[in-house]
């Protein structure tokens, strides 16, 4: 293979990094494990693929343990991010960086690490995604700005296309909000120039405070990676029992429901939720009770692992875009 002019092997300038969106959840709030990146933003744990890493996943687990002290449980590959001119945390500005991103699920624990690993609520980065208390206030300003962006499109055809995209992603003019469309909503905000990462990427400027309700920025494209992870998890818990990777060994049905609601950012109908869990055969009683209910003792249940052998898609079978008041 002939080398480029000047004898430079551009393939040697390609760097491959591994990045983890590590998720834990409680009945109150889903959390993501972050690291402080300089002073202006936070980052996801990441590091370069090294010669001693036998596989990508082993390399990822090694970097997470080194940076945060967190031992990973469930891990799945999300996507490879490799836009031209992207620069990862710690990389030199020259060359091209590919990042293989992963979704990891753990039962929350304080990182055993004397560094800057911190659990943060994920709605800190996506405040428009939490509908548990009704329509998020952040959407009022966001939607007004997005509609202005659509009106400023160069030409009627582009304006109609932007309006259509906004309608699908943000449910403008529709009562049906698709909680899985996290990445699509983030990408629209980025394209419209409403979040700090856009100005940074276009102008090379340091982060400035974003507009009202647009969430905390993250280093590089880590907020895009986190949006991908949230959308993936919200979709998969409907047809795979991933929710139980986040639950303690024994829990109440109310704890399970509140955790699912925290992840989806919606409220679910109590009786319908319990009927779905019962019909799918996902849990079994332990014989114990919880007294931490503020009222009558509640029965403790656990994940019934036999369901994994009984059918191929043992999830909660919740419908996207459908919400019921508790």
87 and 140 assigned to the same domain: no
Q: What is the pLDDT of residues 241-294, one digit of tens each?
A: 999 999 999 999 999 999 999 999 999 999 999 999 999 899 999 999 987 766
Q: What is the pLDDT of residues 9-32, one digit of tens each?
A: 444 567 889 999 999 998 889 999
211 and 281 assigned to the same domain: no
Task: Tell me, yes or no, if the pTM score tops 0.85.
Answer: yes
What pLDDT band is residue 322 in, cutting at 50, 70 and 90? very low
Q: How far apart are CA 38 and CA 93, in angstroms?
A: 16
What pLDDT band is residue 93 in, cutting at 50, 70 and 90? very low
DSSP secondary structure of 102-125? EEEE--------SSSEEEEEGGGT
Considering only 49-58, 116-125, 216-225, 303-312, which range has the smallest mean pLDDT? Answer: 303-312
- State the pLDDT at residue 95: 59
What pLDDT band is residue 85 in, cutting at 50, 70 and 90? low
Is residue 100 predicted with pLDDT exceeding 90?
Answer: yes
253: closest CA among 205, 290, 227, 214?
Answer: 290
Region at 225 (left for phi over 0; alpha for psi -120 to 50; beta for the rest): alpha
16 and 72 assigned to the same domain: yes
Which range of residues forms the domain containing residue 249? 241-310
Please indicate, yes or no, if residue 39 is contained in any of the structural domains: yes
- State the pLDDT at residue 319: 67
Number of structural domains in the chain: 3
- State the pLDDT at residue 10: 43
Q: What is the pLDDT of residues 163-215, one digit of tens each?
A: 999 999 998 877 789 999 999 999 999 999 999 998 888 876 555 555 558 99
Q: What is the pLDDT of residues 133-176, one digit of tens each?
A: 999 999 999 999 999 999 999 999 999 999 999 999 998 877 78
Please indicate, yes or no, if residue 230 is contained in any of the structural domains: no
Q: To the nearest 5 percent, what fractions of the chain are helix, strand and coil?
A: 35, 20, 45
CATH code where residue 87 lies: 3.90.79.10
**Residue 148: its H or E element:** helix 138-151
Please indicate, yes or no, if residue 1 is contained in any of the structural domains: no
114 and 139 assigned to the same domain: no
Q: How far apart are CA 100 and CA 245, in angstroms?
A: 22
- State the pLDDT at residue 86: 54
139 and 69 assigned to the same domain: no
- Within 8 A by CB and 6+ apart from 172, the residues are 143, 147, 163, 166
- State the pLDDT at residue 11: 47
- State the pLDDT at residue 51: 87
């Amino acid at each position: 293979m002939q080398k480029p002019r000047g004898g430079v092997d551009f393939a040697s300038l390609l760097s491959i990094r591994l990045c983890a969106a590590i998720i834990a959840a409680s009945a109150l709030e889903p959390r993501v494990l972050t690291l402080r990146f300089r002073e202006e933003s936070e980052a996801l744990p990441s590091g370069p693929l090294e010669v001693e890493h036998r596989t990508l996943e082993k390399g990822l687990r090694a970097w997470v343990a080194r940076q945060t002290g967190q031992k990973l449980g469930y891990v799945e590959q999300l996507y490879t991010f490799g836009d031209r001119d992207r620069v990862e945390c710690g990389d030199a500005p020259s060359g091209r960086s590919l990042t293989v991103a992963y979704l990891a699920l753990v039962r929350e624990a304080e990182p055993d690490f004397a560094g800057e690993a911190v659990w943060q609520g994920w709605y800190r980065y996506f405040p428009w995604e939490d509908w548990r208390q009704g329509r998020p206030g952040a959407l009022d300003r966001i939607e007004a700005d997005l509609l202005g962006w659509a009106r400023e499109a160069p030409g009627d055809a582009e304006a109609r296309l932007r309006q259509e995209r906004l309608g699908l992603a943000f449910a403008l003019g529709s009562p049906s909000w698709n909680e899985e469309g996290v990445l699509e909503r983030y990408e629209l905000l980025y394209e419209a120039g409403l979040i700090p990462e856009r100005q940074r990427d276009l102008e090379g400027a340091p982060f400035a405070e974003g507009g009202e309700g647009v969430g905390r920025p993250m280093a590089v494209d880590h907020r895009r990676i986190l949006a991908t992870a949230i959308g993936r998890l919200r979709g998969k818990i409907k047809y795979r029992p991933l929710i139980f990777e986040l639950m303690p060994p024994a829990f109440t049905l109310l704890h399970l429901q509140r955790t699912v609601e925290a992840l989806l950012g919606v409220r679910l109908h109590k009786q319908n939720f319990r009927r779905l869990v019962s019909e799918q055969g996902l849990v079994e009683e332990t014989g114990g009770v919880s007294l931490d209910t503020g009222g009558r003792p509640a029965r403790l249940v656990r994940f019934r692992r036999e369901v994994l052998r009984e059918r191929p898609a043992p999830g909660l079978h919740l419908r996207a875009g459908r919400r019921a008041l508790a």
